[in-house]
Amino acid sequence: MPMNIVVCVKQVPDTWAERTLNASDKTLDRAKVDTVMNEIDEYAVEEAIRLKEAHGGEVTIVTMGPDRALDTIRKALSMGADKAVLLSDEALHGSCVMQTSDALAKVIGTLEYDLVICGSEATDSRLSVMAPLLAERLGLPQLSLARKVTVEPGSSVTIERQTENGYTVVTSALPAVVSVVEKINEPRYPSFKGIMAAKSKPTTTLTAADAGLEGELGLAGATSQVDEFTPRPPRSGGEIVKNEGDGGTKVADFLVSQKLI
Amino acid sequence: MAEVLVLVEHADGEIKKVTNELLTLARTLGEPSAVLLGGSVASLAEKLGEYGAQKVYVAESADLDDYLVAPKAEVLAQIVADTSPTAVLVASSAEGKEVAARAALRSGSGLITDAVGVSSDGETTQGIFGGAIAVQAKVTKGIPFITVRPNSTAAEPASGAAEVVTVTPNISDAAKGAKVTERVVEAKGGRPDLAEAAVVVSGGRGLGGAEHFDLIEKLADSLDAAVGASRAATDAGWYPHQNQVGQTGKTVSPQLYIAVGISGAIQHRAGMQTSKTIVAINKDPEAPIFELADFGMVGDLFDVVPQLTDEITKRK
Ligand SMILES: Cc1cc2nc3c(=O)[nH]c(=O)nc-3n(C[C@H](O)[C@H](O)[C@H](O)COP(=O)(O)OP(=O)(O)OC[C@H]3O[C@@H](n4cnc5c(N)ncnc54)[C@H](O)[C@@H]3O)c2cc1C
């Protein structure tokens, strides 16, 4: 039985770049940095494509972000996803996680799916709560932090949920919301063929109104706000010593001098 | 004084240290009440008074253990609705954040995660982009749900009444969707939790193989430390992903962080640069980790680390 899968993907500033906030409205400064697909979402896309390859069905990418997030969508399509929906509206700028989960849930609600897959966290905001919030909003089981996913198409999904000291096996009926951690698979690089094929795959762009979002959107309606931000002063350089055969002793001396042992 | 709820984090019949930290923090915001959820947890209630809990809301149901997250979120939201607290504090653990998020949504409230400080007016402090920027923020809708990182406050004992209030949990069928069928422990026991540890010793690609991680473990054990690893080491399968420190791993802020054979890439620094004292051992004098180090040892880790472990054992 085929599996239709929705993958939620976010475009984020490259972690190699110097990241900051806008001085004016204290939201993420996306203009000054290179942006990439949130790295952990690549694992989510990969897992969806593998499930599709095993069971058939369609993979749909859902993204909320500015128009330039089309780059990220294109990457997911070149990896092998089938189609995409981009929710893009100036009015959504500055949305908090509660608003974003509402917007994504509304878009997902218009699609047909057996499984929703997210990356376990985004490298910019690092909240790690999107899968639980989507599960709550969609009224579906939450199977988050999966390091392994197994499905019985048309019936159930089972994951190994990574924990502090091992893993927990969690199982539910389909449809369900899954999030994956970065050790679940090895994401493929888009092939030349994949890149060419992506050009003709359908991407629908929705405005907030198209998605049925109303009320106070974006920054004005956010449930939390940033009041101030300050770059942390760089650490001042410490003492650097070359090992002359007594390196371990020297480190121990330092620890004693700092009362750390 | 207004009530501040603290969700108790517990495992294997023991209250986690972070809960005592949260109760200590809650005393600066109002009157702390603990929320204790689980299959059979009532016996833990008394202990919570030792860190100042005036009340302990105890809700027991096997469903709280048998199904993932959703039942806990429902019962927490139920207690929040009944008590209208000024704030809800939850540990910033993987599950803590998930429970807080769902309960906040059910309560029509906002959420702030990974706070390292909360002031009496509800303003939180967080480090973002791996601690590169300090942010002051607050929840502006509903009741502030705030998850707080371990080691943000020092736990200080205080006497509290710990009056037990038994709550009958109302858990919907919808919350019983994700069934926990097995819990598997893989880690060797005995070492402190990475997120909570006062000392962390991490190993990287410089170790050259899984078999050399015992050098790191021995050094860690001499300091009662937790073991961390760089992504190069976890990607290579030398150490479990749970122990990865950095951008896509854990963020730690211990008293002492020792980086061994780790270059100090920006994504690794994102997980450890707010540590109080940083020691680096690396054979490359140009390694960026030395820019952060309070003490750097340029040398071969295979010479330096065993000697260091011996010295620590001798001097303790
Ligand atoms: C989106 C994203 C997320 C990432 N998340 C993380 C993360 O969470 N955590 C993380 O750590 N990385 C993360 N990375 C990877 C990061 O960029 C680095 O690749 C990684 O941290 C390198 O690990 P390392 O320092 O162990 O290895 P290397 O950079 O290869 O450094 C090894 C070091 O060991 C030293 N060395 C070698 N032999 C010896 C010896 N005998 N004695 C002493 N020193 C020796 C070398 O001089 C070198 O400095 C992420 C990358 C990306 C793109």
Q: Domain containing A123 — which CATH number? A: 3.40.50.620
- Contact assignment for A15 to B273 by CB distance below 8 Å: no
B84's tokens: 């209208």
Provide, as residue numbers in chain B, all residues whose Cβ is less than 8 Å from the Cβ of A260. Answer: 199, 255-256, 277
Residue A236: per-residue pLDDT: 80
Q: Which residue of A has its CA nearest to B279?
A: A251
In a domain, A125, yes or no: yes
pLDDT at B1 over 80: no
| Mean pLDDT along residues B22-30 | 97
Inform me whether the pLDDT recorded for A211 exceeds 70. Answer: yes
Q: Please indicate if any CB of chain A lies within 8 Å of the CB of B14.
A: no
Question: Rounded distance, CA B67 to CA A105, Å?
Answer: 22
Domain with A206 in it: 3-221
Q: Determine the average pLDDT of the residues in B258-276.
A: 96
The per-residue pLDDT for B316 is 85
Q: Does A136 touch chain B (CB under 8 A)?
A: yes
Which amino acid, one-letter code, is at B178? A
pLDDT at A118 over 80: yes
In a domain, A258, yes or no: no
**Selected residue of B72, B146, B307 to mutate for chain A interface (largest A Cβ count, 10 A):** B307
Is there a domain that residue A249 lies in? no
Tell me the helices (H) and strands (E) count for chain A, helix number first.
7, 13
pLDDT above 90 (res B189)? no
Distance from CA of B160 to the nearest CA of A (A): 31
Q: Per the domain annotation, does A236 fall within a domain?
A: no
Count up the domains in chain A and report the number: 1
Q: Whose CA is nearest to atom 23 of ligand 1?
A: B232
Q: Is a pLDDT exceeding 70 seen at residue B170? A: yes
Give B301's pLDDT tier (boundaries 50, 70, 90).
Answer: very high
Q: Looking at CA atoms only, how far is residue B295 from chain A in angstroms? A: 5
Note the maximum CA span of chain B: 61
pLDDT confidence of residue A227: 95
Within 8 A by CB and 6+ apart from B239, the residues are: B203, B210, B213, B227, B229, B233
Q: B273: pLDDT confidence band, cut at 50, 70 and 90? A: very high
- Interface pTM, i.e. ipTM: 0.97
Model confidence, pTM: 0.96
Q: Does B149 contact chain A (CB < 8 Å)?
A: no
CA distance A98 to A116: 18
Chain A nearest CA to B112, separation (Å): 7
Cis? peptide before A175, omega within 30° of 0: yes
Residue A259 lies in a domain: no
Given a contact cutoff of 8 angstroms between Cβ atoms, the answer to whether B134 and A233 are in contact is no
Confidence of residue B187 (pLDDT cuts 50, 70, 90): confident
Q: Is B203 in the pocket of ligand 1 (CB under 6 A)?
A: no
Distance from CA of A67 to the nearest CA of B (A): 24
Can you tell me which atom of ligand 1 is nearest the CA of B230?
11
Which positions in chain A touch B141 (Cβ < 8 Å)?
98, 223-224
Contact assessment for residue B36 and residue B45, using Cβ atoms and an 8 Å cutoff:
yes
Contact B178 A226 (CB under 8 A): no
pLDDT tens track for B147-158: 999 999 999 999
Nearest CA to ligand 1 atom 31: B263
- Cα gap A214→A197, rounded to integer Å: 36
Indicate the residue of B131, B255, B304 with minimum beta-carbon distance to A243: B304
Q: Is A22 on the interface with B (CB under 8 A)?
A: no
Distance (angstroms) between ligand 1 centre and the Cα of B266 equals: 9
Q: How far is CA B160 from the centre of its chain?
A: 24
pLDDT digit string, tens, across residues B212-260: 999 999 999 999 999 999 999 999 999 999 999 999 999 999 999 999 9
Burial class (CB in 10 A: 0-12, 13-18, 19+), B183: middle
Atom of ligand 1 nearest to the CA of B264: 25
Which chain B residues have a beta carbon less than 8 Å from that of A126? 113-114, 128
Q: Is B200 exposed, middle or buried (0-12, 13-18, 19+ CB in 10 A)?
A: buried
What mean pLDDT, rounded, does chain B reach?
96
A5-18: average pLDDT:
95
Kindly determine whether residue A136 and residue B70, on different chains, have CB atoms separated by under 8 Å: yes
pLDDT band (50, 70, 90) for residue A1? confident
- For residue A17, tell me if it sits in a domain: yes
CB pair distance less than 8 Å for B113 and A241: no
In a domain, A19, yes or no: yes
pLDDT band at A48 (very low <50, low <70, confident <90, very high): very high
A196 domain residue, yes or no: yes
C-alpha B289 to ligand 1 mean position (Å) = 10
How many distinct helices (H) and strands (E) make up chain B?
9, 18
